[in-house]
Structure 1
Amino acid sequence: MSYTLDRQVAGEFGDVVDRTVEALESEGFGVLCDIDVQETLKRKLDEEFRRYRILGACNPPLAHEALETELGLGVLLPCNVVVYEADDGSVAVRAVDPTVMLSVVDDPELDDVASEVRERFERVLAAIPHE
C-alpha cells in the first residue's frame, strides 16, 4: 500500500515549489512550515543532499473538524507535501495520503475528513502543470 500521492513534473525546482504552494492555497491549505532539507543537512552535518523541501500544509477548517473528533490527532498534523529533485532530472511532488495516515487512528468518524483532504491533494497534484 502506498502512503503517498505522487506526481513527476518537468521544470525548475524553485518554480515547482512555487506552483505547489499556489495549488495548495487554491485548495484552502496554508503552508505552516517549509523545511529546506538540503540546507539543513549541509548546516547540521556538512553533508551534500539533493534539493528537497518539506511543506507542512494545513487546511484550518478540516484540521479543526478532525481535532474536534480526535484531540490527539495533532501529532499527525500538518499534512506533509514534499518536493525534491528526482534521479531522472524531473521534480517529484509527493503528498501524504491522508486516508492511509488516518487509518492508524481507527476512528470511522475521520473517514470523511480523510477523503476530503485526499481529494483536495489529488486536485493539488493535478494542478501542477507539466512543462
Structure 2
Amino acid sequence: MSESSVSPLSFSAALTVSFDEAVARTREAFAAQGFGVLTEIDVTATLRTKIGAEIEDILILGACHPTFAHRALQSTRAVALMMPCNVVVRRDPEDEGHVVVEALNPAMMVDFAGDGDDAGLAEVAADAASRVAAAVAALAGA
C-alpha cells in the first residue's frame, strides 16, 4: 500500500517496495513529467566515507525540467539557487518496509525569489508544481 501527502514544502509518497525499486520508479515518474536527473547524491555513502556515520539509505536526485527552468530564470536569476529541484528517496528509519519519496514544492520559488517578475514566476512555479505533484501521485498510485 502506498500513500501520499502534500505540504507547502513538499510532495511525498510512502512506498512499500525495495529502495532500488523506489529509485527506479521515481526516475520513471519524473521522466514521464519531462524532468531529467542532473545530479545524484548518495547521502548514506558520503556520510559513511567522510565521517564513518551509518544511516539508512538516502539518495538526493536533482531533477530539472528545462522548459520550466528557462521560464523561471527569465523572471529572476536568483531562482537558480533553488535549482535543480531536490527529490529525496529515503528508507524510513522507523519502518524498513517503507521508502519515502519527497520532492520540493516548486511553488516555494515565488516566496523565495519574489524580486523578479512575480506573475511570471508564479505561473511557472504553479506549472512545475503540478508536474512534480503528478510524478509523486503516480508513485503513490503504482
* Number of residue pairs aligned between Structure 1 and Structure 2: 131
**Match of residue 17 from structure 2:** 11
> Which of residues 26, 34, 55 is equivalent to 1:28?
34
- Residue 127 of structure 1 and its aligned partner are, at CA, apart by 1.4
3-state SS of 2:55 partner: coil
**Match of residue 94 from structure 1:** 102
* CA RMSD, 1 decimal: 1.5
Question: C-alpha deviations, 1:69-105, integer Å up to 9, x for none?
Answer: 1122211100000000112220000000111243221
Question: C-alpha deviations, 1:10-69, integer Å up to 9, x for none?
Answer: 000001000000111111000000100000000011110110000000000110111111
The residue identity in structure 2 corresponding to 1:118 is A
Gaps spanning 5+ residues in structure 2: where?
Answer: 1-6
- Residue 118 of structure 1 and its aligned partner are, at CA, apart by 0.8
Identical-residue share of aligned pairs (%): 36
Normalising by structure 2, what TM-score? 0.86
Normalising by structure 1, what TM-score? 0.93
Map 1:1-131 → 2, pairs under 5 A: 2-86=8-92, 87-89=94-96, 90-106=98-114, 107-128=118-139
Residue 78 of structure 2 contacts residue 113 of structure 2 at CA under 8 Å; is this kept in 1?
Answer: no
Gaps spanning 5+ residues in structure 1: where?
Answer: none
